[in-house]
Amino acid sequence: MDDLRDKYIQAIAGAEDEAALEALRLEAVGKKGEISLKMRELGKMSAEERQIAGPKLNALKDEINAALAAKKAALGDAALDARLREEWLDVTLPGRPMRTGSIHPISQVTEELTAIFADMGFSVAEGPQIDTDWYNFDALNIPGHHPARAEMDTFYMHRDDGDNRPPHVLRTHTSPVQIRHMEKYGAPCRIIAPGRVYRADYDQTHTPMFHQVEGLAIDRDISMANLKWVLEEFFAAFFEVDGIKTRFRASHFPFTEPSAEVDIQCSWEDGQLKIGEGDGWLEVLGSGMVHPKVLQAAGVDPSEWQGFAFGMGIDRIAMLKYGIPDLRAFFDSDLRWLKHYGFSSLGVPTLHGGLSA
């Protein structure tokens, strides 16, 4: 047994790497190792022989395991020392910059306007982007001969022969959300409906897919004066200009009566647009008092309830606020554009001033 001990202690001391050390472990104390096989022979011995051989074999096994562990630690320390001698680290160098994502301007502006209207008591309502032509047109008092219902302006969903379901369209505005909300919750209500909309148009100021926000307020005693106050408060908070002037021009929309286009005060200096100053005017949205037929279509009695509605392009007001020249750049530009116009955090203006994260 002493010969066995000397054999493995010397072999372990001479092992040059962990692979050689593992081979020795298997040879000595593995399941089929030399020492393990001798321990199995204890069962064939007499009681007196086991009392002598057993303690010696256990002591030998413990000594070999201890030698293996010590050698493994020594090999690890030697490998670390060699690596430290070969490699170096300059701790005075600046850290590597972390690449962080940025928030798209459309997402930023959506968060901004949601926070501003929330301060005025408006909640957010949502609806499907594929809707029936009843919700998209008929319920909003848009007649069948209206140009917006032509296939050159609206994306209609394909229908197989024999499909008798009503026509479906990619919604051309988020106004259908107003109908669905009033159908479900009735009146009174105060909501905004931001989201994607689709129209067959494409140029510097139009894209086939863009973003709108519709606003709706229904109660027993609401007037155009309330509409004017809400919009002026929004413009002041969004563009961060106190006392911004607005101009309401009579217009026509099938879903409101009376209807008005809304302009805001602006100026052009050296090709740069400035909001809230000068003698110029810039159209930003359409608005008006909700047409009684729209209320009826949504199941709201127009003899008891009335209200106002407005709609504006989120992409358009983002362009105005942040100086983005081309609407198409929101959707087909590379990451360099997003790095220039993107936002690192959601600093959202509120009616009461300051930013809310």
DSSP states of 190-223: EEEEEEEEE-S--BTTB-SEEEEEEEEEEESS--
Structure tokens at 84: 């430290």
Q: Could you report how far apart the first and last alpha carbons of the chain are, in Å?
A: 76
C-alpha distance from residue 2 to each of 7, 14, 45, 60 (Å): 9, 18, 20, 9
Neighbours of 255 (CB within 10 A): 24
Distance of CA 167 to the CA centre of its chain: 32
- Residues 316, 110: contact at Cβ < 8 Å? no
Q: Which helix (H) or strand (E) holds 59?
A: helix 47-86
pLDDT for residue 296:
96
pLDDT for residue 357:
47
From first to last of the 357 residues of the chain, give the pLDDT tens digit.
677 777 878 888 888 888 888 888 888 778 777 777 777 777 777 877 777 777 777 787 888 888 888 888 988 888 888 887 887 777 788 888 877 777 888 888 999 999 999 999 999 999 999 999 999 999 999 988 888 777 778 888 888 888 888 889 999 999 999 999 999 999 999 999 999 999 887 666 677 888 999 999 999 999 999 999 999 999 999 998 888 899 999 999 999 999 999 999 988 877 778 888 888 898 999 999 999 999 999 999 999 999 999 999 999 898 888 887 777 777 666 666 667 777 765 555 555 555 554
Neighbours of 324 (CB within 10 A): 18
Q: Which residue has the tokens 């009735």?
A: 186
**Residue 210, strand partner residues:** 197
Structure tokens at 319: 């362009």
Report phi then psi at 329, rounded to 5.
Answer: -65, -20
Q: Which residue has the tokens 């060699």?
A: 82
pLDDT for residue 349:
55
Q: Which helix (H) or strand (E) holds 309?
A: strand 306-313
pLDDT for residue 322:
84
Structure tokens at 106: 């459309």
